[in-house]
Structure 1
Amino acid sequence: MELRQVRSFLTVVEEGHVGRAADRLHITQPSLSRQVAALERAVGVPLFDRSRRALALTAAGEVFAAGARDLVRRADDLVSAAGQAHRGELGVLRIGFVQSATFEALPTMVRVFSAAWPSVRVEVTAMTTLRQLAALTDDAIDVGLLRPPVQAPDLELRTLSHDPLMVALPGGHRLARRRRLSLADLADEPFVLYGRESGPTVHDTIIGFCRDAGFSPRIVQEAVDVQTIVALVAADLGVSLLIAPTPHTDETAVVYRPLADDLPRWEMALAWSRQNRSPVLARLLETVA
């Protein structure tokens, strides 16, 4: 049984006349009759009652016609879905992201992409930059929001922003009254920082900045994510240094202040593997260009 035969059969049913159906299909009447006969042989039962002068379906033909309409509709949907998938308009986009992408880069990118391609399902996973590099190489994710520098010659990177380091202070802290701080102002403060296992590059770089400013930070608490760090700062356990953009908070709990020190900014980049031929990834790269 061929789908072409099923379509021809339904056209005959809709027209109620073989001649009119043939004209609609732009084929000859004998050719259409042969298609219907071939379909009946494939099904194994007559679909039309030929004992009457008017064209009529048999009981089997009535049942077959109902199912045939659904079959053709599903076939059309399948063809449409295949085309959408080929064009990157349907499928799954897997995104890895560092914690500091949570408050601007990730939501902005997903919002814009999903508005443009609502049929693509977006899956997001929080990952350190190092984990993203492995996941991109292993095809576990399609794209990553990460913090360079990275040593990954098989990856393409596109810079999205350059973000400053900010001081996070308890709302009632004596330094909160100042609009701008230097790292040296924090020399005697207890610190809440990322644990090194959560992000060695961020951890080591912040420690290095502090040492360049003349002190080693006194770390009293470590955390695995920025939300926890902010909560611990709000609890007055210490101050912290966070990459902007920072979480929105009530300034009675936590305030953020820029640094006066001339420090390099942190690059946020979009990364993907050159080997990834996903049409959905191509759509993302077009959308966020």
Structure 2
Amino acid sequence: MDVRRLKYFLAVAEELHFGRAATRLEIAQPPLSRQIAALEADIGAQLFDRSRSQIRLTQAGEIFEGHARAIVDRLENAYRETRLVGEGGQGRLRIAFVGSASHGVLPTLIKSYRSHFPKVELALSAMNNAELHSAIIQREIDIAVARPDLGDDELRREPLAHEDLVLAIPDASELASRKEIRFADLSDQTFVLYPRRPRPSYADHILSICKQEGFEPAALELAQDFQTAISLVSVGVGICVVPASVAATTRPGVFYRPYVGLNPGTSLTIHARRDNQSPQVRNFLEVARKFVRSR
């Protein structure tokens, strides 16, 4: 059935006047009358009682009006929702990130994206770099926020933030009371590093700083992720070198301190597959660019 005829029928049913309905539809009255007559012929029932003084819906017309209105409303909703998804204003976006990113600028970026596209469903999860790389290549996620980045030419990347490194120290450690901590003086400490695997990783980034400062840690304790590493620090296992943004979130049993010495910092980078041209991904990257420029 022609949807246009349904709209013509509903206009006449609402106006109960062919002339007014034709004006509203911006067509001439004779073609409107012919379309209604053709609709009645298709259905096999008279929809309107026509008289010189008044037009009324027949019982069949009243029944048909309810069905026609439901069909047109559903179709218009389908057009609207499909158009919104196609423009990136609705749909789903899967974002995964390294655990330490949840303490920095990423939550603010996600909040900014939500304010621009509140109807997009966000699926958020924490992963290490290896998991991020596998998930985005396998199309299990749309956006990967890595530290520092994922070395793959299949991925486009946008820088998000760069920050200094600080020390996470057990509150019972004598280091916590020092006015100044020199990185080169930490050779007798147990370093809690993450992730345990795969390597090379952020752990190797910290070990390279140790090497450039002229020592190897007295002992290593390898954790699989950031949260586990901080938990080990909180119970006195050792010290950890973390992004400065982590210090904004207090953790019982842990003090955060700056240090004197080599501090190359650490970066966060946003990644997406080059062949993922979904409007949700494009919109997220555009919001991210504006967010970085504003900072």
TM-score after normalising by structure 1:
0.89
Confirm or deny: 8 A CA contact 2:210 2:216 kept in the other structure.
Answer: yes
State the partner residue of 2:292: none
Unaligned runs of 5+ in 1: none
- Does the C-alpha gap of structure 1 residues 119 and 165 become closer, same or farther in structure 2, counting only changes over 3 Å? same
Q: Which moved more, 1:111-120 or 1:186-195?
A: 186-195
Q: Report the equivalent of 1:165.
A: 165
Q: Deviations over 1:164-223 (max 9, x none)?
A: 222111123211123442223322223322242166411122223223334332446433
**C-alpha displacement of 1:257:** 1.1
Q: Quick one: distance in 1 between partners of 2:263 and 2:276?
A: 35
Moved more, 77-86 or 95-104: 77-86
Map of 1:118 onto structure 2: 118
Name whichever of 223-232 and 275-284 sits farther off.
Answer: 223-232
Amino acid in structure 1 at the alignment position of 2:157: L
Alignment map for 1:222-241 (pairs within 5 Å): 222-241=222-241
Secondary structure at the counterpart of residue 95 of structure 2: strand
| Residue 88 (structure 2) pairs with residue 88 (structure 1) | yes
Tell me which amino acid in the other structure corresponds to 2:217: P
Q: Which amino acid aligns with 2:95?
A: I
Q: What's the secondary structure of 1:169's corresponding residue? A: strand
Matched letter for residue 54 of structure 1: Q
* Alignment: residue pair count: 289
- 8 A Cα contact 1:171 1:251, kept in partner: no
* Partners of 2:85 and 2:91 within 8 A in 1: yes
| Cα gap change, 1:121 to 1:4, in 2 (>3 Å) | same
Cα distance, 1:152 vs structure 2: 1.4
What amino acid does structure 2 have at the position aligned with 1:258?
P
Structure 2 unmatched runs, 5+ = 290-295
Query: Structure 1, residues 26-84: CA drift from partner, whole Å, max 9, x if none?
Result: 22222112211222233343322358963222222212212222222222222222222
Which residues of 2 match residues 240-279 of structure 1 at below 5 A? 240-246=240-246, 248-250=248-250, 253-279=253-279
**Mean Cα deviation higher: 251-260 or 163-172:** 251-260
CA–CA distance in structure 1, aligned partners of residues 273 and 69 of structure 2: 43
Is this contact kept in 1: 2:5–2:35, CA < 8 A?
yes
Provide the rounded CA distance (Å) in 1 between the counterparts of 2:94 and 2:211.
Answer: 38
Q: Which residue of 2 aligns with 1:135?
A: 135
Q: Judging changes above 3 Å, is the alpha-carbon distance between structure 1 residues 182 and 42 closer, same or farther for their aligned structure 2 residues?
A: farther
How many Å apart are 1:269 and its aligned residue?
A: 1.0
Give SS of 2:140's match.
coil
Between the two proteins, what is the percent identity of the paired residues?
37
CA contact (8 A) 1:227 1:247 kept: no
